[in-house]
Amino acid sequence: MTHIAAVRCAFPPHRYAQSELTDMAARVCLPENADRRLLDRLHGSARVDFRNLALPIEEYEKLTGFGAANDAFVSTAVELGRESVSAALKAARLTPGDVDLIMFTSVTGIAAPSIDARLVAELGLRPDVKRLPIFGLGCVAGAAGIARMHDYLRGWPDHVAVLLSVELCSLTVQRGDSSPAGLVASALFGDGSAAVVFAGDDRGPAGPAVVATRSHLYPGSEHVMGWQVGDGGFRVLLDASVPAVVRQYLAQDVHDFLTDHGVTKEEISAWVCHPGGPKVLEAVSEVLDLPAGALDVTWRSLAAHGNLSSSSVLHVLSETLATRRPEPSTWGLLIAMGPGFCSELVLLRW
């Protein structure tokens, strides 16, 4: 098995109430003097209270193109990556020299050399550290990253690996994009990072164990979520059918996965779910028939930080470990969904 030694998150210092972000979205996304009732309704129903931004709020109206936004992504991602990885290694009582593999994931900016390469010297990682930058998985990448780390450490049980997610969703907001998907994104998504330190089985138990994982790509759903890449950068694709896709597939996926490993739904003591948004979380709770309060940590994460794309489920995992840690030997299930459309399930043993 693979053991989760530590999870730590980091956020940009620029933090704003949802009402301030609604006003910024009106200035950036809507035509001058446009009717903003739809924008106000979407922002008010997002169940988000605060979000952190990569830049001070007044800087967003000055971003004139993809190049400027991506420059801000690179500099902020390096800063947040350094902070979250350093904190996670310290919490795991490991040094940068102990790390054998670092995986970096993001869907909100691009860099070559990749962000993980830029962090090797800054963090003091070994020059022979294995690196694996991943782009395109979106919101599911936090869970998929855990799954792929598990695959790697089964083959190298004496190794230490780090998963780093940095998502700066605010830098992808398109000027003049008053589409429903664009307005939903402006209401929901925030900025932050998360780092997870893993230890192989031969390093000794250091935390919750990853027991098994499962991926599922749903046919004919490529249109549901993703990016349309244009001259202005990443324009969000977000179909209203996302909750319906969740209702169609998730319950059977979870049932089959748990059954294959001899676990019942009633034995799950912690549901670590990506906060995709209110309608998605309501769909998850409904189709899985979860007990009251099962997704409280996820709802709190959404309210405090918004949807952080791939970093979100890792933040929920961090908060679960810090504030609602299950009893030893009980089961947990980590769930995320993203572009494809797809899901990733991770079975945990505390």
Residues annotated catalytic, as ranges: 139
Buried b (16+ CB within 10 A) or exposed e, 265-276: beebbbbbbbbb
- Show Cβ contacts of residue 323 under 8 Å, excluding neighbours closer than 6 positions: 297
* Residue 140 backbone zone (phi > 0: left; psi -120 to 50: alpha; other: beta): alpha
DSSP β-bridge partners for residue 342:
217, 338
Q: What residue type is 40 in one-letter code? A: D
* Residue carrying structure tokens 């001899």: 262
Tokens of 298: 């996820």
Q: DSSP alpha helices (H): ranges in 92-236?
A: 115-123, 141-155, 180-188
Q: Which is nearest to 158 in space by CA: 196, 204, 126?
A: 204
**Concatenated DSSP letters for 196-211?**
EEEE-GGG---S-EEE
Chain centre to alpha carbon of residue 98: 25
259/264 Cα distance (integer angstroms): 7
Cα 233 to Cα 86, 150, 168, 172, 193, distances in angstroms: 31, 33, 13, 7, 21
DSSP β-bridge partners for residue 103:
132, 163
